[in-house]
Amino acid sequence: MLAYLARDAEERVARRMSRAGYLREVRASRRAGPGYTPADVNTAAWPAARLHAALSRRQRLGQADTVLAGLAAAMGMSGDLFWRTDPDFLQLLLSRLPAGLRELLVQTQAAIGDATLTHHGR
């Protein structure tokens, strides 16, 4: 399922975020496709800053923020985003998610692992 959704998800999401005013399109060269940059750096950085502050204080997160933190961890970004936080606390929060959301995170991590292995195997 994730492989099917991933085919053009990045570009579709980027276009929607651009239309909503969160991103602006930048062209690096004529040959490269469009790239995107945040329209407002503070707005773009706020979710990571908010999650880091809550996790470093061992505060409970709402379900949406817990999933966001779980997706960051599944993508291997937790070290960059959640430095000086207790990884066991994040795992505790993730373990409290409904089974379907936990499975989504597991599948996301597996898909990223597969994509990484496929890319390095070329």
| Span 40-74, pLDDT tens digits | 999 999 999 999 999 999 999 999 999 999 999 99
Q: What are the tokens at 19?
A: 């239309």
- The beta strand positions in the chain, using DSSP E, are 23-27, 34-38
Residue 14, φ and ψ in degrees, nearest 5: -60, -40
Stated pTM of the model = 0.76
Residue 36 and residue 23 in contact, taking contact as beta carbons nearer than 8 Å? yes
